[in-house]
Structure 1
Amino acid sequence: MPKAGALSVTARPNAGALAAGAVLACLPGLAGSLIRAKVTDAGPAMRLEPIRGQERAGNEEYLDFDRNGLAAHPGRLSMRAASGGGLVVLGPPAVGVLARRAVERGDVAQLLRDGTGRLSGHLGETPEDFGFAAEDVTIRGLPAWAVPSSSASSGVWVIHVHGLGSSRSQCLRGVEAFAALGYTSLLPTYRTSLDLSPTPGRSHLGLTEWKDIEAARRYALDHGARRILFVGWSLGASIVLRTIERCPAPSTAGALLVSPALDWPAIISAQLRRAGCPGFLARWLPHTVNLIRPRGEPILRWREMPATYMGKHPSIPTMIFHGTEDRSVPVQLSRAFVSRQSQPVGFVEFDGAHHTLEWNSAPQLWNGSVQAWCRRLGLEAYVDPTYPVSEAK
């Protein structure tokens, strides 16, 4: 009871203050939801590069691009028109006022009509584009390519796992080095591969996808594999490490991780900082991704992800390839990962290479490093001196 003469005030909520409080309370959840949606988007990349001109000189055809864009990246690349169509393979750039690339294969008509296209490191869409005879196989209802060994006696199989928002054709560049050693290559799909749908469901960042790669491992063993190497590109590296962790096997000989997406909080933080987010927020926001979670989607427990926080180390021989200009997964994360391992991890940096474009920037370095690593592992190798060096054609 209030004292005589005291002002009695009944507390009445202010609608504006309540609304502001509600927004502030929801911000972490909304931010986490947006981050989760971005990180788990398994659709194709949408970045388009404008075409600045076309020229013919004799039998050669050239396309011109901005000199400061992705088109100036070292090595061969490919381009697909914004509206779709076939893949156009482009030669290495000559950089002057513009970045000029020769058209090696494909019809540029649709590219020129659109005026823009998506650049990538894919130099072919099927094994045949690289000169490989391949068999179409099905593993647990999902399509895969099996590129047989040039040596009937070789028992080494290589399982190539593509990254987020991509397809198994991403890995075709990496087959050459192993094929020259007489190894069989298996290129499986998993549940969010673009091979299956142009609009796949949300990625689980390996939490469920690893089961499809474990099925590929069992397929290889059932078809003659005695030793197995894994090659994981970007998210594929995380999927590979999860597969090895969940199903350790004496047949697993090693893992090659290409532009590996391993420490997801650090990857997200780096992207947020690049977008101008303050450092403390960039470090905190990745931990909000489970506050608002779509029905049926798993909890993303970062500390349980392979290699996150450097807490789970590879138990098998490991090699990492990473480009110094990777803007999706900073190369510093691989350097830190390697430095913290109790067992040596092979590490090759590709100067000037962007995300998953290491092979494109220096194919001889890639192939030579792979083959030297395989020999250090003591794997059986049958080198056919007549084996052709594959080229996307």
Structure 2
Amino acid sequence: MVASRRAAMGGASPTLLAGIRPALTVISVALAGVLSAMAVASIHMARRVVTPAVRLPDTRILSLDTAAQTITLSRTPDTELPGRYGLFTSGTSDYVKLGSVLSEDETSVKRKLLTHVASDARLSPDAAFSGWYYDRPEQLQLPFTPELIGSAVGPCPAWLFPAGAGGVWVIQIHGRGTTRAECLRAVPLFHRNGITSLVVSYRNDGEAPRSRAGTYTLGATEWRDVDAAVGFARRRGAERIILMGWSMGGAIALQISLNSAHRAAITGLILESPVVDWRLVLEYQARLMRVPPTVSRLAIGALQSDWATPVTRAGGAIPFDRLDVVARAQELRHPMLILHSDDDGFVPSDASHDLVAARPDIVQLEVFEVARHTKLWNYDQERWSERIGGWLAEHDLTPTPPSAED
């Protein structure tokens, strides 16, 4: 009887079972704790993805020499870059332009100031390095008018820079966590080529109206606001329209190219450091932040699920399949120029390479190195301008011959 009872219990003694049960309870509680922590982490990541970003300090001002008009910053992969940039500050100035690197060591970089800073200036040590360079349209010294583009969420502010006869327009679309001033760098190049520039805003970017949820959909709904700008351009006489998108603006431009009722008027896309596949970008950024792959996959799963929107605070499910343009490459119809740095550091260039491999008939890729994210103009303005100018000429999009550099 004892033998049969032990057989029924799988050969385990009551004493052994008594010891296993507490252990199993501890393991179950620990596992539940791990799963709970992973769920919390994934929700936190998901919310960060869709919540409009606030500009945060990413460097420190170590010293300011107003006599020599130089500034010394803590060294980062961005602050050590060659070229011209901007710096968001606080104190007596909120933004200054930066010139070339004058000297550097392991911890600091000294740069030339291109904005005059008075001798009595007081700047907070905390600052944010920027590729904007221009932060206001007046700095371009080109004629422009402020405009309002009617959209489903309300009037979206825009800047209109007329050029040439007005038949060819470029619509400039900024990226995530920034505003339309990001695009001002490109306006002079198009102006010299006789192309009118419309620099637009879209829902939840801090300038355009807020949607009901107040969160990004990573291009899935924002494209409709920019598509309204395409309609605006057509009503103002645009016959051929180029879309130029920066970072997430690239994802928005691609959605317009695929979905717009105005597709026949769109003649091409220029994408600078674009997001072509969001899942690839989010997984890459998760690795940078040392987020476990399981957490990032859970976050993406939550974002693409309707049931999770109350906790992710997204306005709806994010359609990652629709936003994956590599998978939809055969649907593309417009010629496209992509400019991307293999050292982007924020949006990996893999999907840009994949897209040109999938559609070499219409997609061209200009690969940079070192330049970092959306800083290609800053790093090598001559090469950037020549490549875009050549692409415009190739596609007969230069109404007037290009003039000399300003």
What TM-score results when the alignment is normalised by the length of structure 2?
Answer: 0.83
| Alignment correspondent of 1:202 | 215
What is the rounded CA distance, in whole Å, between the counterparts of 2:292 and 2:402 in structure 1?
55
Structure 1 segment 50-61 matched on structure 2, within 5 A: 50-57=60-67, 60-61=68-69
Aligned to 1:92: 100
Which of 188, 195, 210 lines up with 1:183 in the alignment? 195
How far residue 202 of structure 1 moved from its aligned partner, in angstroms, is 1.6
Give the % identical residues: 25
- Per the alignment, residue 347 of structure 2 pairs with 329
AA partner of residue 66 (structure 1): S
> In 2, Cα distance between the equivalents of 1:67 and 1:49?
8
Q: 2:92–2:123: 8 Å Cα contact kept in structure 1? A: no
Structure 2 equivalent of residue 223 of structure 1: 236
- Paired residues of 1:40 and 1:205 also in contact (CA < 8 A): yes
> Are residue 73 (structure 1) and residue 73 (structure 2) matched?
no
Matched, 1:298 2:316: yes
* One-letter amino acid of the counterpart of residue 256, structure 1: I
Q: For the aligned residues, what is the CA RMSD?
A: 3.2
Q: Is the deviation greater in 375-384 or in 154-163?
A: 375-384
Structure 2 residue matching 1:72: 3-state secondary structure: coil
Give, in whole Å, the separation in 2 of the partners of 1:41 and 1:163.
14
In the alignment of these two chains, the number of paired residues is: 380
Q: CA deviation at 1:113?
A: 3.7
- Deviation digits for residues 167-208 of structure 1 (CA, Å, limit 9, x no counterpart): 00000001111111111000111012233489x932111111
Q: How far did residue 286 of structure 1 move? A: 3.0
Q: Secondary structure at the match of 1:250?
A: helix
Q: Which residue of 1 is the match for residue 279 of structure 2?
A: 265
Q: Confirm or deny that 1:315 pairs with 2:333.
A: yes
Following the alignment from structure 1 to structure 2, what is the Cα–Cα distance between the partners of residues 56 and 107? Answer: 6
CA distance in structure 1 between the aligned counterparts of 2:5 and 2:294, rounded to whole angstroms: 51
Secondary structure in 2 aligned to 1:169?
A: helix
**Bigger relative contact order (CA 8 A; separation at least 6):** 1
Aligned mates of 1:26, 1:234 — CA distance in 2: 33
Asked if the contact 1:146/1:184 (under 8 Å) is kept, the reply is yes
Superposed displacement of residue 340, structure 1: 2.1
User: 1:144 Cα shift?
Assistant: 0.6
Say whether 1:373 aligns with 2:388: no
Alpha-carbon contact 2:216-2:314 (below 8 Å) kept: no
Contact 2:174 2:182 survives alignment (8 Å): yes
Distance 1:84 1:40 in 2: 33
Deviation at 1:51, TM superposition (A): 1.4
Does 2:53 align with 1:43? yes
Q: Distance in 1 between matches of 2:121 and 2:129?
A: 11
Secondary structure of 2:69's counterpart equals: strand
Q: Does 1:131 align with 2:107?
A: no
Structure 1, unaligned stretches of length 5 or more? none
Contact 1:270 1:282 in 2 (8 A): no
* Letter in structure 1 aligned against 2:228: A
**CA positional deviation for 1:111:** 7.9
Matched, 1:166 2:174: no
Letter in 2 for 1:235: M
Q: What letter corresponds to residue 315 of structure 2 in structure 1?
A: E
SS for the counterpart of 2:343 is coil
Where does structure 2 lack aligned partners over 5 or more consecutive residues?
none
| Gap change, CA 1:74 and 1:111, over 3 Å in 2 | farther
